[in-house]
Amino acid sequence: MRILLTGAAGFLGSHLTDKLINEGHHVIGMDNFITGNEENLGHLAGNGKFSFIRHDVSNFILVTGKIDYVLHFASPASPNPASPLGYPNLPIQTLKAGALGTHNSLGVARAHNAKFLLASTSEIYGDPQEHPQKETYRGNVDPIGARSVYDEAKRFAEALTMAYHRFHQIDTRIVRIFNTFGPRMRLDDGRVVPNFIQQALRKEPLTIYGDGSQTRSFCYVSDLIDGIYKLMMSDYHEPVNLGNPNEISVIEFADLVNKTVDNTSGKIKKTAERLGNDPQRRQPDISRAKSILNWEPKISIQAGLEKTIPYFKKKMGI
C-alpha cells in the first residue's frame, strides 16, 4: 500500500514508519517538526519506500498519486508543563492538530477512497472512575482543565472520525493508546519515563509529583506498534485500547528505574505539587484487542527499560 502517515517524525510515528516499510509498504511521512525529531527518520534517507513532506496538518493537505491508507498521528503529546514540548505550552497547536488536522487527514482519505486510522489516547477517559478502563467507558472528564486541550482534541477527533465513517462511509479505525515508552522518546519530552531515566543516569534523586501512589501501565513501543498494525489490517471500526494491563505505581516504577540503571543514590524526591488533573489510575482493559486482534503485549517493563536505557545513554553522551 501507499500510506500517508502524519506525525511521522514523532516517537510513535517513526517506529510505525519502520514497521510499515518492513512490511513492504511505501510511506509518505508528514511532519512540521514542532515536536517531531528529524533524526528519527534520518536512517531512511535514500530508502525508495519512504518520502517526506514537511507540512502542518492543520492546513489543507494535498498529496498527489494514489493513497491507500491515512494514519493520523500528528499531535503534541506530553502533559508536563515543565517541558517546552508539552501540550500545555502548545495549546492552540494541540487543538488544531486534533480538530483541523483530523478533518484534513480525513479529507485525504475521502478524496482517495482510502482507509483511515486515528491515533487517539487513554486521556479521553479523563481521571477514570472505572478501573480498568474499557472502551465502553465514557469517562470522567474536564473540558476546561489544564489537560483539556489534548483530551478534548482527541475526543473531537474520535467523534469526527466516526461521523466520516457513518456519513461518508470512510473505512476507519481508532486506537486508544496508553502509556508507551522506548527509544526515540525526546529527552525534553517531560513525561515520567525520560525524566526518571535521565535523573537516574545522572545519579540524581528521581522527582515524583505528589505521593507517587498514582498508577500507570507502561507498554514497550514495539508491542504497541504490532498492535496498531494488526488494527490497521483488521476490519474493526470501534475504538480499541492498546497498552500494557500490568499496572504499576509511579513510586514503584521509580524504584525499578533506579535498580535497572544502578543509580547509587537510589533516592526519590517527592513534591507536594500534583500536575494539573493528573489521573490517579490508568490501566487498560485489553479484552477487545485480545479478542479481535489476538494481541497482547509480550515485553515486560524491565525488559523494555533495558532496551530503552542505552538510547538515553547515547543521547546524553554517557
* Secondary structure in 3-state letters for 251-289: HHHHHHHHHHHCCCCCCEEEECCCCCCCCCCCCECCHHH
Burial of 170 from C-beta contacts in 10 A (0-12 / 13-18 / 19+): buried
Q: Distance between CA atoms of 253 and 215, rounded to whole angstroms?
A: 9
d(CA 70, CA 14): 15
Closest CA to 147 of 76, 213, 217: 76
Catalogue the active-site residues.
150
Name the β-bridge partners of 207: 269
Q: Which of 206, 200, 199 is nearest to 261 (CA)?
A: 200
Strands 268-271 and 219-220, bridge-based pairing: unpaired
- In terms of phi and psi (left: phi > 0; alpha: psi -120 to 50; beta: otherwise), the region of 212 is left
